[in-house]
Amino acid sequence: MDIGFLGMGTMGRPMARNIARAGYDVTVWNRSPGKAASVVAYGASEASDLSAVLEKPVVVSSLADDRAFADSVLSMSSLRAAKRGSVHVNLATVSPGMCAEAEAALNERGISYVAAPVFGRPEVAEAGELTVVAAGDAGAIDEVAPLLDAIGRRTWRIGDDAKQANIVKILGNYLIANAIQAMAEATTVVEKVGGSPELLMEVMNDSLFPGRVYGGYGKMIAQRRYEPAGFRLALGLKDVRLALSQARDAQLGLPFGSVLEDLFLDALAHGQADQDWCSITEATRRRAGLAGQ
């Protein structure tokens, strides 16, 4: 299988490495050159021209947001370069609206579109243990299933409506954001009264909340360790807003979502854009008078 891979960010690089490790012919491209060395070391080649990647029979993209995806994949020049009969697999979290737009634009040119966003931080991606949520044409998913197996521990098939995969991913991230804030509040209270945030989270992770979200983020929050960012705070705000937008479309309110949006904006206003999204903890600490301690 000859694969083109777009996006050499913190998630794109380890996923592309694992695909190359699995023996596939991989050609990679990134908007900012020079980030693909660790993938090339596993036998991939780096293209200077986007069209050289888009013309492959299977194209995989891992781009930051709707705009980055649209600019790279849905521009007229990109659509002309894409090969009829190919499959495009989008591993990123984009809005359901962008997913529908991409599916329509690519299908019109005889290209299958598979939405396959992933759950997991960079270290999970490195281990090939991501959870993949896939939706779209069943035949296209069958075709790329071995590729998805190379990056993940399990692929969940959500159906033939591609945007449903993105809805599941958005709501999953919304749940994680709520868990982060719950831990931020609990650790701030225990710190304020002279206790140990780290010991609190050790007890919780050993008893009530074992698992990757409370275990991984709980330790980061208790230690106030927000760098290097596995998932930047600005991207967390994007996903909270996507969840709020989806709820509004369904005529539902997300009261906690509005609170989360305010906390993310507070953190951004304090220069935390490039920190991990669990750094919204600092917004709660500031409100408790613990800033800088």
For residue range 75-98, what is the model confidence (pLDDT) as tens digits? Answer: 999 999 999 999 999 999 999 999
pLDDT in tens, 104-151: 999 999 999 999 999 999 999 999 999 999 999 999 999 999 999 999
For the domain made up of 167-287, give the CATH fold: N-(1-d-carboxylethyl)-l-norvaline Dehydrogenase; domain 2 (1.10.1040)
238: annotated active-site residue: no
When pLDDT is cut at 50, 70 and 90, the band that residue 33 belongs to is: confident
Give the active site residue among 56, 169, 192, 238: 169
Q: Is the pLDDT of residue 199 over 80?
A: yes
Tokens 């243990």 belong to: 129
Q: Is the pLDDT of residue 292 over 80?
A: no
CATH class, domain 2-161, is alpha beta
pLDDT in tens, 148-166: 999 999 999 999 999 999 9
pLDDT of residue 32: 84
Q: What amino acid is encoded at 7 in this protein?
A: G
Average pLDDT, rounded, for the chain: 96
pLDDT of residue 1: 82
Annotate the chain with three-state secondary structure: CEEEEECCCCCHHHHHHHHHHCCCEEEEECCCCCCCHHHHCCCCEECCCHHHHHCCCEEEECCCCHHHHHHHHCCHHHHHHCCCCCEEEECCCCCHHHHHHHHHHHHHCCCEEEECCEECCHHHHHCCCEEEEEEECHHHHHHHHHHHHHHEEEEEEEECCCHHHHHHHHHHHHHHHHHHHHHHHHHHHHHHCCCCHHHHHHHHHHCCCCCHHHHHHHHHHHHCCCCCCCCEHHHHHHHHHHHHHHHHHCCCCCHHHHHHHHHHHHHHHCCCCCCEHHHHHHHHHHHCCCCCC
Q: Is the pLDDT of residue 293 over 70?
A: no
Q: Where are the domains of the chain?
A: 2-161, 167-287
CA dihedral 61, 65, 70, 72 (to 10 degrees): -50
When pLDDT is cut at 50, 70 and 90, the band that residue 31 belongs to is: confident
